[in-house]
Homo-oligomer: A and B are copies of this chain.
Amino acid sequence: MNQTIETILKRRSTRSFVKRPLDREELKMIVDCALHAPSGMGRQTWKFTIVENREKIQRLARAAGEALGREGYDMYDPEVLIIPSNEKDSPFGMEDNACAMENIYLAAESLGIGCVWINQLRTICDEPRIRGILNEFHIPENHVVYGLAALGYRDDTVIGPKERTGRTEYIR
């Protein structure tokens, strides 16, 4: 089994991070992997905003928590938040960004960096307080945010493989 397949099979989400900055070269490599995901008709209409400031991440998390009525919501308090966004009227945006998210997950896993998919912004990213913060981050007004990637070195106890229950069928 090659290392790519090994990484894919052992990837698990991380929901607890230590307070230690990520290696900046490794972070750039992860972002480069996001940029290399496939996109519908090769249009690459996405933008990746990388927030490396815990306080700014927590401001966004608090605003999201308030919009959703989830007290103390902290997006698992990560070291870095990658916010992929895409044009609201792109017919491919949601899938393009999901592929980029998977590349982020796998690149991080291969570097020993934990990652978790944050799904809370998609319905609320145009609420005024959230949009105000996205504006500060220079996320274009015509962009929507689907999933976000929270990243950091793992503070998890080692978790085993998750049971895979998806169905398969071969047609010959």
Contact = CB atoms under 8 A, between A and B. Distances in A.
Contacts of A53: 171-172
A5 B171 contact: no
Q: Describe A's contact surface by its main secondary structure.
A: mixed
Q: What band does the interface of chain A fall in when counting residues whose beta carbon is under 8 Å from B?
A: 35 or more
| Count of this chain's copies in the oligomeric assembly | 2
Interface of A: 1-5, 7-9, 11, 13, 29, 31-38, 40, 42, 44, 46-53, 56, 92, 94-96, 98-99, 101-103, 105-107, 109-111, 117, 119, 137-138, 146-147, 162, 164-172
B4 A35 contact: no
A47 B46 CA distance: 28
| From A3, A51, A98, A166, residue with most partner B Cβ within 10 Å | A166
11 contacts: A1-B29, A3-B3, A4-B106, A4-B110, A35-B168, A38-B105, A44-B165, A47-B166, A48-B169, A49-B168, A53-B171
